[in-house]
Amino acid sequence: MTARGRTQCAPTRLMIRLLNKLEFGKEKGDMMQKENLLFWQDKFDTESHLFSTNREQPYLDAENIDFEMQFNKRTAYLKITRLSQKGLEHFVQNYGKSCRVLYLYECTQIHDFAPLGELKNLEAIRIEWCRKTNQLWNMSGNPLLKVLSISDAKKIAENPRLLQTSKTLEEIRIWGPLSGGTYTMESLESFQDMKSLRRIDLNWIKLANKSMEVLDTLPNLKEFHFEPGMLTTEEIAQIVAKYPNLYGDSLRAYDDEYIDIGEVRVCGSRKPTLYLPKQQKRLEEYIKQFNMLVEKYRENL
């Protein structure tokens, strides 16, 4: 799973994985192992999916949450579809104590995520298609939280300023609109001084302010993924020169996600897709130019 393309890592397929014991870091103990915390959403069975079976009340409120929870739902590891604001508050108060992995899907009636701050045992959360919400929540009340993935939430993507309330987040993935296009994030300032952060993914996101100075304040960052066209080739080369140990699918001359079908995307704004082997020589020229840029910026550090 990477941040490179809509086919391979579409948000509707992305989910957080804790396996049977819900334990983080047991596979080699390294966030660099990309598959550690992810798996296909079809792993959810009926015992880990909470949704309304009442056609007249498609959004989950307190009453139908209590009704659905009679059927042995696993609160530690749960996907919830169409949760209302009152439903969120009721769920947290009555069932949230044991919640460790939470996936909120199509919760278009939620306008305030503040109740999530009461989930003391929450380790990973994914939020998708919650467009009425303006901001995240104070995460200081989630002392075990390590993974946050949020998609199709425009106002949050523009300025996810409450990220800094977490002292434990290791992985943050922010996705743009599921229907295509991009959202514009003001800057990377919301990630400032997040000492625990090890991975950032910005998928279908543009930056209004492209300053990378925030990276200097993230001592444990190992991975920085973004779309190949989010930055110019020169800006990418500057990052590679200054942070040689930082890994990213677009922190190089080209993106090879589709190389098995003979396609590569040159990294950089307005750069082309090349078709191999016909355009192999052209690709080699782009690689040469990129490496020269990296060396140029490295010499000027």
- Report yes or no: 48 and 18 within 8 Å, Cβ to Cβ: no
Q: What number is the average pLDDT over the span 108-134?
A: 92
pLDDT, averaged across the chain: 84
CA distance 93 to 276: 56
Residue 11 is predicted with a pLDDT of 29
264: its two tokens? 């590569």
SS (H, E, C) the chain: CCCCCHHHHCCCCCCECCCCCCCCCCCCCCCCCCCCCECCHHHCCHHHEECCCCCCCCCECHHHHHHHHHHCCCCCEEEEECECHHHHHHHHHHHHHHCCEEEEECCCCCCCCHHHHHCCCCCEEEEECCCCCCCCCCHHHCCCCCEEEEECCHHHHHCCHHHHHCCCCCEEEEECCCCCCCEEECCCHHHCCCCCCCEEEEECEEECCCCCHHHHHCCCCCEEEECCCCCCHHHHHHHHHHCCCCECCCCCCEECCCHHHCEEEECCCCCCEEECCCCHHHHHHHHHHHHHHHHHHHHCC
CATH architecture for the domain at 6-227: Alpha-Beta Horseshoe (3.80)
Name the token pair of 97: 């104590």
Please check the confidence at residue 118 and state whether its pLDDT lies above 90: yes
The proportion of the chain whose per-residue pLDDT surpasses 70, expressed as a percent, equals 84
Mean pLDDT of the 120-124 span:
94
- For residues 240 and 115, what is the distance between their CA atoms, to the nearest angstrom? 40
pLDDT of residue 40: 33
- pLDDT tens profile 21-56: 333 333 333 333 333 344 334 344 445 888 877 777
Q: What pLDDT does residue 12 have?
A: 29
Query: What's the confidence (pLDDT) of residue 15?
Result: 34
CA–CA separation, 47 and 280 (whole Å): 51
For residue 176, CA distances in Å to 152, 180, 224, 226, 236 come to 5, 8, 16, 11, 21
Tens digits of residue pLDDT in 195-245: 999 999 999 999 999 999 999 999 999 999 999 999 999 999 999 999 999
Model pLDDT, residue 10: 29
pLDDT at 69: 87
pLDDT at position 47 is: 57
The closest of 11, 35, 32, 297 to 180, measured between CA atoms, is: 11
Q: Is 56 exposed, middle or buried (0-12, 13-18, 19+ CB in 10 A)?
A: exposed
Q: Are 255 and 249 in contact (CB under 8 A)?
A: yes
> Could you tell me the pTM of the whole model?
0.84
The more confident residue out of 40 and 253 is: 253
Residue 103 to residues 148, 212, 284: CA-CA distances in angstroms? 10, 31, 43
What is residue 35's predicted lDDT score, i.e. its pLDDT? 37
Report yes or no: 84 and 112 within 8 Å, Cβ to Cβ.
no
- pLDDT of the residue at 44: 41
Token pair in block for residue 299: 């010499």
203: its two tokens: 């998928």
Reply yes or no on whether the pLDDT at 281 is more than 80: yes
Note the pLDDT tens digit of each residue in 61-74: 999 899 888 886 78
Number of C-beta neighbours around residue 209 at 10 A: 10
- pLDDT of 296 > 60? The answer is yes
Q: Mean per-residue pLDDT for 267-278?
A: 96
